[in-house]
Amino acid sequence: MAETIYGYICVSTKDQNEDRQLIALREVDIPEKHIYMDKQSGKSFNRPQYKKLVRKLKKDDLLYIKNIDRLGRNYEEIQNQWRILTKEKGVDIVVLDMPLLDTRRGKDLVGTFLSDIVLQVLSFVAENEQTNIKQRQAEGIAAAKARGVKFGRPPRPLPENFYEVHKAWREKKIPLKQAAALCRLPEGTFYSKARNFGKKG
């Protein structure tokens, strides 16, 4: 039976667009219905479309991906998935950005050895890049905080009647529960705001 050709795309919903990968897969004439795409982080292999694709793949099928980090970003997991696809399921894989990673070529000992080395190096690079991204993000956040940049939601403005209610509560004219209700705030929130307001005063 003739091989079936598939393509796989993985993009992060935050900062990536699938067009580059899609164009590359279309150029090798993969039918649209055989292109599977996940829009989530590539750190984990718990991706619905990838899992669906793996279930579909059978011996002698051919899978195209644009580059190795589309398959994953964890060194051990990339190696493991590659072994499952090529050894257990008998699927051929072509990594378009790295012609040496084409399992249709060099099925002899030397070819397999070269593919394994290239795969190990690229898997290491993919995971290392992920680590570097996290480090750059952490450094960027730390630098922004040092400059006084605030993260998270801005604090909600005080209710218009807060000053009067706060004054009455401080003078023990009304209990905390009533003061919070008048300002339409949870008791804990009113108390916290009242303490801070008192310090400002």
Q: List the catalytic residue out of 12, 41, 44, 192.
A: 12
Q: What is the DSSP letter of 66?
A: S
153 phi and psi angles, rounded to 5 deg: -70, 145
State which H helix or E strand residue 123 sits in. Answer: helix 109-146
Q: Residue 55: CB partners within 8 Å, gap ≥ 6?
A: none
The token pair at 36 is 């599977």
Q: Are 196 and 185 in contact (CB under 8 A)?
A: no
Is 12 one of the annotated active-site residues of the chain?
yes
- Alpha-carbon gap, residue 115 to 102, rounded angstroms: 8
So which residues are the catalytic ones? 12
